[in-house]
Structure 1
Amino acid sequence: MGWQMFSLIIFTSLCFGFVMSNLPPLTIEAISPRGIKIKMPDDGFSLFTMTASLRRGLHTTQWKITIPSAKNGYWTSVDRNIDLRLGDVVYCNIIAYKQNIQFQENKIWTVRELVPDSEYINCVISETRTPCSNQICKNTLIYSDEFNNDKLMWKKEVMFPQGPDYPFNAYETKAIRVENGTLIIKPEISIYARRENAEYSQWDLGSSCTGELGTRECIQTSSGAQILPPITSGKISTKGLFSFKFGRIDVRAKLPVGDWLIPEINLEPLNHEYGKDHYASGLLRIAYVKGNQEFSKELYGGPIVFDSEPLRSIFLTKHYSSVHWNNDFHVYSLIWKPDGFQLLVDDLPYGTFIKSTDLDEYLISELPPQSESWARGTPIAPLDQLFYISLGVRVGGINDFTDSPLKPWKNSNSKAMYKFWQSTLSWRPTWTSPELVVDYVRVYSL
């Protein structure tokens, strides 16, 4: 999204120095040998988006791009991955927001000139990659969301999450809101938890479902102890909007307080190159603190490469604190490199992981089924592909909490969700601050 988004606006005025109504003049250049440069003064606008298509002969390429924020008084970007040629025609639909007012224009532009790229020699190319660019300068902010606009530019999940963790909640949009410059995702008891009413014997998410239609991801029916999910929560992601490989991500957030609550601040695989089951393509946890008071001094982060123990947690790093992590805001960071990871909280490192040594040494004695597919990747496989950002809150499930006398369900029991719901009077009072509150998300190139 960061580099992809900038490439479209660039096309806006490759030939004409025009002023969009109610917008400052854009300075846009098609640069040589390759790329596009854009610079526009910031005049209080909060967001720019553009959809565009480049027509070259009979071939058409389409983009959707968002410019999330201005820097040093300008909306500026250079994308050296765009291949423009003289005579290229670009069709653009431009939308800009200012004080929640939307401005929209349709424009057609033709490339008449290529400008030499005088700054390229000063750019040291990063190892960071995005779907649209392998030419990103080092130490560059490539994506950010400060949640200062009421319009949330993320994908909102509407579905019943299934395996491998089978949480006890549904994802719906009503659990998500943007307020006072923060994203808030708050789980609540669902009306479908009222099992005594026959009206609620089936829960159909309909055409709004973002899961696989016709499956339990979109429709569920209660029968006996097989109840409908008793909790409604939320999850958003940048899937299809922004993904990257290698970089640094910072998330400033306040984590949920309450028994059996689980914050989801993750990187998830975009294409599941190594398979979808059992986390075969990996999962990267940026920050993970269980909501129960007895667990909330333990911060975890790092990769997951299998759904069950011991491989589920073996590569997570734990950082113990004398105070509860979910009492206040913290900046949780993950630095993802081609040979491993570093974890930080409030800019202080607390763990590292080198895949080629740490994982291989462990896997000598314990190999997950999906390890054969990793052989076709790099030494850091399956964590060597494009990942997108996901934020949410889930509840319970069958993998994150080990069985204990205090836990109302057993992970292997088919009635796990029903047992959880039966114990509502024990966990509901602990949900004193069950929401995940996110101040910002920022991604930098290495």
Structure 2
Amino acid sequence: MGNNELQYYTDDAANSATDGSGHLLISARPAPTGSTLPCYTQKFCPWTSARPTTEGKVALTHGRAEIRAKMPTGTGLLPAIWMLGDNGAEWPAQGEIDICEVVGAEPRTVYGTAHGPTYFNENGIGGSTVLPRDASRAFHTYAVDKQPHRITWLVDGKPYFTLSPSKLPAARDWVFEQDMHLLLNVDVGGDWPGPPDASTPSPATMTVDYVRFYGEGRV
């Protein structure tokens, strides 16, 4: 993918399935031997994963997006819960809200970030908070409260960062007054987490207990 990641997204049950107890499992795992899955950074992707999305189905305009999940941790992993805008613009003008990212080698740190026309990739604007123990050890509730001209990031109901147009390079670059859909994925390798190694869990699984939208949007 575009951040020099090593996974190929599939719709295979090995990568995304329910567990029979009400949870969605999103798993990154080594690609089958001999597979020829195309990759952004090399000829073939050595890992597979999944990226479920609500695009074209459900979107949030104003209100709260709340996801209760266990996030996998380990060298080279980057699980993410995030949103993209439905305004039809090309990224980054599309607008992106990263509700939760956990860099595998920082298993207790949760990052929340916004990306827009003049603040994207390493220049994204956001904050972070620290969990009492590894994100893979327990369920936590990751959320954003998306209100007119204000976005607040929360973990387990506790806010840790708020963004408003005044914090942007220019207030006109605020692109979040629109419908935004949700995505969930477990990525492997890439610019931020670095490559996996022998200690990387396989499979590396995000366990999702629920996804909830409260407020106004599109169904």
TM over 0.5, shorter chain: yes
Q: Secondary structure at the match of 1:357?
A: helix
| Counterpart residue number, 1:328 | 138
Contact 1:257 1:433 in 2 (8 A): no
Q: Deviations over 1:122-167 (max 9, x none)?
A: xxxxxxxxxxxxxxxxxxxxxxxxxxxxxxxxxxxxxxxx32x232
Match of 1:206 in 2: none
Task: Tell me if structure 2 keeps the 8 A contact 1:248–1:444.
Answer: yes
Aligned residue for 1:341? 151
Render the CA deviation track for 1:383-415: whole Å, top value 9, x for unaligned: 2221101111111123x24xxxxx5xxxxxxxx
- Between 1 and 2, higher relative CO (CA 8 Å, sep ≥ 6) is seen in 2
Match for 2:25 among 184, 204, 210?
184
1:200-254 deviations in Å (ceiling 9; x for gaps): 5x44xxxxxxxxxxxxxxxx389xx933010000110111111121110110000
Give 5+ residue unaligned stretches, structure 1: 1-161, 195-199, 204-219, 365-377, 402-406, 408-419
Structure 2 CA distance for aligned equivalents of residues 170 and 307 of structure 1: 23
CA pair 379-436 structure 1, distance change in 2 beyond 3 A: same
Matches within 5 A, 1:120-131: none
Q: Quick one: percent identity of the two aligned structures?
A: 26
Secondary structure in 1 aligned to 2:74?
Answer: coil
Residue 182 of structure 2 aligns to a residue whose secondary structure is strand
Q: What value does the CA root-mean-square deviation take over the aligned residues?
A: 2.4
Give the 5 Å matches for 1:160-175. Answer: 162-163=1-2, 165-174=3-12, 175=15
Deviation at 1:316, TM superposition (A): 1.4
Normalising by structure 2, report the TM-score: 0.86
Letter in 2 for 1:358: K
Size of the aligned set, in residue pairs, is 211
Is the CA contact (8 Å cut-off) linking 1:264 and 1:391 kept in structure 2? yes
Counterparts in 2 of 1:387 and 1:229: CA distance versus 1, 3 Å: same
Which residue, out of 72, 84, 107, partners 1:296?
107
- Map 1:226-375 to 2 at 5 A: 226-273=42-89, 275-276=90-91, 279-292=92-105, 295-305=106-116, 306-309=119-122, 311-312=123-124, 315-354=125-164, 356-359=165-168, 363=169
Letter in 2 for 1:308: N
- The structure-2 alpha-carbon separation of the partners of 1:185 and 1:428, relative to structure 1 and needing over 3 Å to count, comes to farther
Instruction: Read off the aligned partner of 1:166 and give its amino acid letter.
Output: N
Q: Identify, as 1 or 2, the structure richer in helix.
A: 1
Provide TM-score, normalisation by structure 1: 0.44
Decide which structure has greater strand share. Answer: 2
Q: Which of residues 181, 185, 189 is equivalent to 1:396? A: 189
Unaligned ranges ≥5, structure 2: none
Contact 2:7–2:39 at 8 Å: present in 1 too? no
